């Protein structure tokens, strides 16, 4: 089909304009200005705080050293790339154009799903949700047995000291809301690693495992319990996860009761998008979100507590905090957790006279903290997606004294 008359006219006008600019002496000046403007921006704003759109720490300006000049050049290049003039604006414009034209994300770290839902793609080694969702790498039998041995060693060490142990997994957003994942990301195997692990432990171990999926799938039918533009559950999802935890803890602590639906207020508040939208730098316009906030009708009683004396983190990202509540029915607890537990803290802290939270997505076992705190229970909470890359390990004092775990009959992980 020949082009329309107005299209031909438009192209002719564009060509004439380009030819006119080419003959104009101002074009080279315009070109030089475009090149040097970013450098000028860097020169006039050397100490500005640049927001990282990739959800990572920006490179710092290195100090020159004659001993390692090549290393300095490499670090300075990383610094220059991260602080290039107008970089946030250029990245934002690029991402917006890419989404508008092709409905695509500029990075494999974010997956654009259906109806405005975003999913975590191939992020850091412990944050690869999309490959986990596809189930292309099932657990081996040896990995399942090793996981079982680690958990049983922890349970045995704690049981010897009169402490209970609970292991729980926070389901991925793609597990609870698979219907919005793009069809291109088909599943290679039907069973996920969480399916395998929960099934294996239920058949070959008596370690207490809390599977939140049934409760969250029920609540999903009533209202949205995960953020559309963030990797985590929202306040309402965290609230229902908390209620399921307390129901489980009632087996051992009968006099505790979770907050009921009549004890809370729920609000819908329009705001900017979550961490995935921030990684695209489109949280202010294209991927805003109506957030669901949950607040108690009676203010929480728990207050921040003093950190455990002598705490030594296992890695730079590991952090410890504590909460204390005089009206708590359970004396003490230690919970090793990741970012999913943030919405649990305010509710869970109400039930313990003291609870220590240790943020550690690699799920180390902190024997010194436990021996100092003398908790009634230790809770290990792990994000489901971490099962793809992290197999917890125990310190030497557990492995040296633990009995040899019985692997049980052979199970072919499907």
pLDDT tens digits, 259-288: 999 999 999 999 999 999 988 888 888 889
Retrieve residue 122's tokens.
């191939």
Q: Is the pLDDT of residue 22 over 80?
A: no
Give the other-Cβ count within 10 Å of 146's Cβ. 17
Give the pLDDT confidence score for residue 108 in this predicted structure. Answer: 85
Residue of 212 and 403 predicted with greater confidence? 212
Residue of 412 and 44 predicted with greater confidence? 44
CB under 8 Å to 5, separation ≥6 — which residues?
none
Q: Hunting for tokens 């640049």 — which residue is that?
A: 50
Span 162-211, pLDDT tens digits: 999 999 999 999 999 999 999 999 999 999 999 999 999 999 999 999 99
Distance CA 263, CA 260 (A): 5
Nearest to 239 by CA among 208, 266, 270: 266
Cα 127 to its chain centre, rounded Å, is 7
Residue of 234 and 317 predicted with greater confidence? 234
Give the pLDDT confidence score for residue 126 in this predicted structure. Answer: 74
CB under 8 Å to 58, separation ≥6 — which residues?
50, 52, 82, 83
Span 203-218, pLDDT tens digits: 999 999 999 999 999 9
Q: Is the pLDDT of residue 408 over 50?
A: no
Phi-psi region of 333 (alpha: psi -120 to 50; beta: other; left: phi over 0): beta
Alpha-carbon distances, residue 92 vs 34, 58, 97, 380 (angstroms): 18, 16, 9, 38
Highest average pLDDT, of 130-144, 284-298, 395-409, comes from 130-144
Q: Is the pLDDT of residue 316 over 70?
A: yes
Mean pLDDT rounded to a whole number for the chain: 84
Cα 169 to its chain centre, rounded Å, is 13
Contact yes or no for 176/235 (Cβ under 8 A): no
Q: Is the pLDDT of residue 356 over 60?
A: yes
Retrieve residue 326's tokens.
């005089």
Cα dihedral 17/18/24/26 (nearest 10): 100
Q: How confident is the model at residue 76 (pLDDT cuts 50, 70, 90)?
A: low
Helix ranges (DSSP H) in 251-395 = 275-280, 345-348, 367-373
Q: Hunting for tokens 């905090």 — which residue is that?
A: 321
Q: How confident is the model at residue 127 (pLDDT cuts 50, 70, 90)?
A: confident
CB under 8 Å to 289, separation ≥6 — which residues?
227, 228, 229, 230, 270, 271, 272, 273, 274, 277
Q: How confident is the model at residue 66 (pLDDT cuts 50, 70, 90)?
A: confident
Is 256 exposed, middle or buried (CB count within 10 Å of its CB: 0-12, 13-18, 19+)?
middle
């Amino acid at each position: 089909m020949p082009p329309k008359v107005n299209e031909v006219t438009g192209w002719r006008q564009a060509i004439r304009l380009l030819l006119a600019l080419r003959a104009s002496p101002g074009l080279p000046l315009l070109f030089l200005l475009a090149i040097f403007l970013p450098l000028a921006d860097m020169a006039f704003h050397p100490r500005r705080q640049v927001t990282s759109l990739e959800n990572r720490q920006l490179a710092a300006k290195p100090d020159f050293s004659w001993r390692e000049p090549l290393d300095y050049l490499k670090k300075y290049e990383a610094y220059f790339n991260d602080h290039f003039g107008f970089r946030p604006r250029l990245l934002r414009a690029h991402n917006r154009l890419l989404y508008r034209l092709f409905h695509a994300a500029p990075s494999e770290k974010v997956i654009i799903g259906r109806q405005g839902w975003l999913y975590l793609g191939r992020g850091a080694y412990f944050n690869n949700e999309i490959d986990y969702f596809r189930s292309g790498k099932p657990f081996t039998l040896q990995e399942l047995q090793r996981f079982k041995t680690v958990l049983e060693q922890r349970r045995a060490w704690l049981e010897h000291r009169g402490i209970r142990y609970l292991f729980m997994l926070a389901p991925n957003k793609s597990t609870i809301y698979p219907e919005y994942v793009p069809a291109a990301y088909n599943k290679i195997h039907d069973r996920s690693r969480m399916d395998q692990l929960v099934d294996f432990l239920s058949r070959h171990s008596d370690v207490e495992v809390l599977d939140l999926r049934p409760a969250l799938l029920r609540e999903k039918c009533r209202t949205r319990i995960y953020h559309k533009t963030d990797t985590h559950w929202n306040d309402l999802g965290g609230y229902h996860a908390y209620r399921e935890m307390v129901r489980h803890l009632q087996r051992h602590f009968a006099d505790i009761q979770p907050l009921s639906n009549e004890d809370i207020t729920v609000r819908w508040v329009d705001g900017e998008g979550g961490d995935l939208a921030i990684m695209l730098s489109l949280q202010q316009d294209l991927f805003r979100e109506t957030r669901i906030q949950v607040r108690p009708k009676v203010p929480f009683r728990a207050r921040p507590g003093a950190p455990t004396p002598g705490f030594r983190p296992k890695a730079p990202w590991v952090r410890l905090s504590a909460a204390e509540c005089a009206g708590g029915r359970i004396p003490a607890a230690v919970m090793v957790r990741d970012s999913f537990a943030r919405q649990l803290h305010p509710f869970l802290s109400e039930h313990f006279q003291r609870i220590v939270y240790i943020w550690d997505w690699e799920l180390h076992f902190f024997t010194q903290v436990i021996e100092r705190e003398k908790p009634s229970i230790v809770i290990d909470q792990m994000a489901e997606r971490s099962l793809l890359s992290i197999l917890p390990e125990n310190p030497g004092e557990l492995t040296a004294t633990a009995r040899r775990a019985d692997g049980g009959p052979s199970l072919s992980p499907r």
